[in-house]
């Protein structure tokens, strides 16, 4: 078979790219290794920054987000047993939307179906070839195990950090940083214990209170790198969260049945450039940020917005300037997010073996951030998302 753009991966990057291309009359095929049920159930990101929210509305896939998502106008930094609010909207004029990544994925899959552009789920053995030639190809097995080949004008590698696309592009320079801790994430059927997100600095480690709906709370705990989920029975999770989230005025955490729990390693990673021949990488396939600050999914959205425009120019008008500048354009935003995520992570986590010097610096940075309007505004404008280029 033939298509103009072969897209590997049906995460936010692949689905949104396909949607944007189809809207411009460009033909694209999305190949996804997992089942539809799996990708629709995978619990991950929850914060959409302002430019992401605007884009989803503009292109006509924001209706359920606006009906069910939770607009937030601030969040708290909690340390020394007290909250300090970062008033996002007062400081920047913008807000964020708490709306699960898998809800965006569901909305985009539904939009594909409605327009008659189904996504191919449960494909296997995906292999890219001739990515530096004129006619790159994707070989794979379809859901029934039949060998298939897709001839493309370009391939978009949107298959996440562990996908096959990045390894198919020789010579990219990886730049990375590992952190000596991970996040244990839990989803619980219980109303949020506070109206807003709470990012907590505590000597026992970082904790984050977030939410998905008025009935469902999302919580994260810093845990050691390579921590086994078996080390964390539900009772231990609740008592550790209560210890870290405690305030001097008696904050009480609402407990409830835990619906999902998982451990996520933390790393910073960028592959440069984000292109090799006719293969373009987007989203987690090209870069990873530690989750503190909620930039990962939003970066994936920003990448494919740039990529869709570049591919429309290339494939419809045979103009390659935007394709040539794709990587540089994206990397400017990527490195801003890399810095922001690294600095939020560094300010809020307790490194194993950290000494008083490090702790005093973190506390000083936290106090400065919440007492200086300039510092709070800088954090807020990064958090709500800088305007697209």
Catalytic residue selected from 72, 94, 112, 349:
72
Which residue in this structure is represented by tokens 């209706």? 63
In sequence order, the 6+-apart residues with CB closer than 8 A to the CB of 263 are: 182, 183, 184, 185, 223, 227, 228, 229
Please give the residue whose beta carbon sits closest to ligand DHB in the complex.
46
Residue 8 contacts ligand FAD per CB under 6 A: yes
Q: Which of 93, 96, 40 is nearest to 294 (CA)?
A: 96
Shortest Cβ distance from residue 346 to ligand FAD (Å)?
A: 18
20 lies in the site for ligand FAD, by CB under 6 A: no
Q: Which of residues 299-338 bind ligand FAD (CB under 6 A)?
A: 300
Catalytic residue among 12, 22, 291, 349: 291
Q: Report 119-158 residues binding ligand FAD (CB under 6 A).
A: 123, 126, 158
Q: Report the alpha-carbon distance of residue 294 to residue 282 in Å, rounded.
A: 17
Member of 26, 29, 46, 99 binding ligand FAD (CB under 6 A): 46
The binder of 11, among ligand DHB, ligand FAD, none, by C-beta within 5 to 8 A per type, is ligand FAD
Q: Give residue for tokens 């991950």.
A: 44
Answer whether the bond into residue 180 is a cis peptide, omega within 30°: no
Residue from 94, 202, 295, 349 carrying the catalytic annotation: 295
Could you tell me the sign of the dihedral formed by the alpha carbons of 159, 152, 113, 326, in that order? positive
Question: Of these partners, ligand DHB, ligand FAD, none, which one is at the site of residue 34 (CB under 5 to 8 Å by kind)?
Answer: ligand FAD
| Site for ligand FAD contains 297 (CB under 6 A) | yes
What distance in Å separates the CA atoms of residue 197 and residue 76, rounded to the nearest whole number?
Answer: 6
> What residue 8 binds from ligand FAD, ligand DHB, none (CB within 5 to 8 A, per partner kind)?
ligand FAD
Per DSSP bridges, beta strands 96-98 and 47-48 are antiparallel
- The site partner of 18 among ligand FAD, ligand DHB, none (C-beta below 5 to 8 Å per kind) is none
Q: Which of 5, 7, 13, 241 binds ligand FAD (CB under 6 A)?
A: 13
Using CB under 6 A as the binding rule, whether residue 69 contacts ligand FAD is answered as no
- Residue 295 among the catalytic residues: yes
Q: Residue 383 catalytic?
A: yes
DSSP E strand stretches across 32-142? 47-48, 70-72, 75-79, 82-86, 96-98, 124-129, 137-141
Alpha helix (H) residue ranges in the chain: 12-23, 36-41, 50-58, 63-68, 88-92, 101-114, 234-245, 296-317, 321-348, 356-371, 373-384
Which residues contact ligand DHB (rule: CB under 6 A)? 45-47, 197, 208, 210, 218, 291-294
Q: In what order do the strands lie in the sheet with 137-141?
A: 124-129, 137-141, 147-151
Q: Determine how many CB atoms are found less than 10 A away from the CB of residue 320.
A: 12
Least distance to ligand FAD from the beta carbon of 198, Å? 14
Task: Please state the φ and ψ torsions of residue 39, each to the nearest 5 degrees.
Answer: -70, -30
Which lies closer to ligand DHB via its Cβ, residue 46 or residue 163? 46
Q: Which is nearer to ligand DHB, 113 or 260 (CB)?
A: 260
Nearer to ligand DHB, 197 or 282 (CB): 197
Measure Cα distances from 135 to 9, 242, 249, 278, 316 in Å: 20, 57, 65, 8, 17
| Under rule CB under 6 A, residue 39 binds ligand FAD | yes
Binding residues (CB under 6 A) for ligand FAD: these are 8-14, 31-34, 39, 44-47, 101, 123, 126, 158-160, 163-164, 183, 185, 264, 283-285, 291, 294-298, 300
Q: What amino acid positions are annotated as catalytic residues?
A: 72, 199, 291, 295, 383
């Amino acid at each position: 078979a033939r298509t103009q753009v072969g897209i590997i991966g049906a995460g936010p990057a692949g689905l949104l790219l396909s949607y944007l291309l189809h809207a411009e009359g460009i033909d694209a095929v999305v190949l996804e290794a997992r089942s539809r049920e799996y990708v629709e159930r995978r619990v991950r990101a929850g914060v959409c920054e302002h430019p992401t929210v605007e884009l989803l509305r503009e292109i006509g896939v924001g209706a359920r987000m606006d009906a069910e998502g939770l607009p937030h106008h601030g969040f708290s930094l909690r340390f020394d047993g007290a909250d300090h609010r970062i008033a996002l909207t007062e400081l920047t004029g913008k807000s964020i939307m708490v709306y699960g990544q898998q809800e965006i994925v569901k909305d985009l899959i539904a939009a594909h179906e409605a327009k008659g552009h189904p996504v191919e789920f449960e494909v296997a053995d995906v292999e890219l070839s001739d990515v530096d030639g004129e006619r790159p190809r994707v070989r794979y097995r379809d859901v029934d195990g039949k060998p298939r080949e897709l001839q493309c004008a370009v391939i978009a590698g949107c298959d996440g950090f562990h996908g096959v696309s990045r390894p198919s592009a020789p010579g990219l320079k990886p730049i990375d940083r590992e952190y000596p801790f991970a996040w244990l994430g839990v989803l619980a059927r219980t109303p949020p214990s506070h109206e807003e997100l709470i990012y907590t600095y505590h000597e026992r480690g970082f904790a984050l209170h977030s939410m998905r709906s008025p009935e469902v709370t999302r919580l994260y705990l810093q845990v050691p790198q390579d921590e086994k989920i078996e080390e964390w029975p539900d009772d231990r999770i609740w008592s550790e969260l209560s210890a870290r989230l405690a305030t001097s005025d008696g904050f009480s955490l609402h407990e409830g049945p835990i619906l999902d729990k998982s451990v996520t390693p933390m790393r910073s990673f960028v592959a440069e450039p984000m292109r090799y021949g006719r293969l373009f990488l987007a989203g987690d396939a090209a870069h990873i940020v530690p989750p503190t600050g909620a930039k990962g999914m939003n970066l994936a959205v920003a990448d494919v917005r740039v990529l869709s425009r570049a591919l429309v120019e290339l494939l419809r008008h045979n103009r390659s300037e935007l394709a040539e500048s794709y990587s540089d354009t994206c990397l400017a935003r990527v490195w801003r997010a890399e810095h922001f995520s690294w600095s939020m992570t560094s300010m809020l986590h307790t490194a194993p073996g950290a000494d008083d010097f490090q702790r005093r610096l973190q506390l000083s940075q936290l106090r400065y951030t919440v007492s200086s309007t300039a510092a709070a505004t800088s954090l807020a404008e990064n958090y709500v998302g800088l305007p697209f280029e």
